[in-house]
């Protein structure tokens, strides 16, 4: 895995086309909202008909970089990939990098949330409900230069899930200092505190700002 260059050697992202290396409609919506003010023309890998590469990395950063490198090579454009997931303290940080796979094919996150709940219940009534979301962003240029960033948000899991907004595991996650789940709060409120926003703040400061 290639790590980011030291901050003084960060590469600036110029306005123009940026390919989003994702097929997840929820992620794409949030990423586009975060990038909208910066004069970038975004198109997704799905819209270009590119398949998803095999994600066989051992970390969120590694998997994000696999996707970004693949798309940059195939398109000749700068590519941005996101790899994110839910890490549950009492489950030894599972589902972690396998968060999407817990939802199966086609992606059924109701089933995935039920599995998290079921495995937590098996740990007993005293099992910790602490969890955090991780978002890794990998920005890759066609020449192979890459910049990586990782954001987090901590909170507690709830059951039953609440809310119709958001996606993935959002309905069962309440961030620290809040009472509503990620699927109950509005998009602007989530943007202010989410793991994806945390990672984007780092990317924007390093490569765009």
Is 23 marked as a binding-site residue?
yes
Give the pLDDT mean for 179-199: 94
Domains parsed from the chain with CATH numbers: 14-208 (3.90.950.10)
Residues with a known catalytic role: 83
**Could you give the dihedral angle defined by the CA atoms of residues 134, 135, 136 and 141, in that order, rounded to the nearest 10 degrees?**
180
Q: What is the pLDDT of residues 106-148, one digit of tens each?
A: 889 999 999 999 999 999 999 999 999 999 999 999 999 999 9
β-sheet bridge partners, residue 79: 19, 140
In this predicted structure, what is the pLDDT of residue 45? 95
Q: What is the pLDDT of residues 81-93, one digit of tens each?
A: 999 999 999 999 9
Predicted confidence (pLDDT) at residue 155 exceeds the cutoff of 80: yes
Is 22 marked as a binding-site residue?
yes
More confident residue, 101 or 1: 101
- Say if CB 23 and CB 47 are below 8 A apart: no
* Residues 22, 100: Cα–Cα separation, whole Å: 12
Task: Please choose, from the candidates 84, 71, 70, 69, the residue with its C-alpha nearest in 3D space to the C-alpha of residue 31.
Answer: 84
In this predicted structure, what is the pLDDT of residue 199? 96
Integer CA distances (angstroms), 203 to 10, 91, 178, in order: 10, 30, 26
Locus of tokens 């699927």: 183
Is 130 marked as a binding-site residue?
no
In this predicted structure, what is the pLDDT of residue 4? 47
Q: Please, what is the end-to-end C-alpha distance for the chain in angstroms? A: 26
Is 27 marked as a binding-site residue?
yes
* Residues 85, 101: Cα–Cα separation, whole Å: 10
């Amino acid at each position: 895995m290639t790590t980011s260059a030291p901050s003084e050697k960060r590469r600036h992202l110029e306005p123009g086309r940026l390919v989003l290396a994702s097929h997840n409609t929820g992620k794409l919506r949030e990423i586009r909202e975060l990038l909208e003010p910066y004069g970038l023309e975004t198109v997704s890998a799905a819209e270009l008909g590119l398949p998803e590469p095999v994600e066989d990395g051992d970390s969120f950063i590694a998997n994000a970089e696999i996707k970004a490198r693949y798309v940059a090579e195939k398109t000749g454009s700068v590519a941005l990939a996101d790899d994110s997931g839910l890490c549950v303290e009492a489950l030894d940080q599972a589902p972690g990098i396998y968060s999407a796979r817990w939802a199966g094919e086609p992606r059924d996150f109701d089933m995935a949330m039920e599995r998290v709940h079921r495995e937590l219940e098996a740990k007993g009534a005293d099992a910790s409900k602490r969890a955090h979301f991780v978002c890794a962003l990998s920005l890759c240029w066609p020449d192979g230069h890459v910049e990586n960033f990782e954001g987090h948000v901590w909170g507690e899991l709830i059951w039953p899930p609440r809310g119709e907004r958001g996606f993935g595991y959002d309905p069962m996650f309440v961030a620290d200092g809040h009472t509503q789940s990620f699927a109950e709060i509005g998009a602007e409120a989530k943007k202010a505190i989410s793991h994806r926003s945390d990672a984007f703040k780092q990317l924007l400061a390093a490569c765009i700002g």
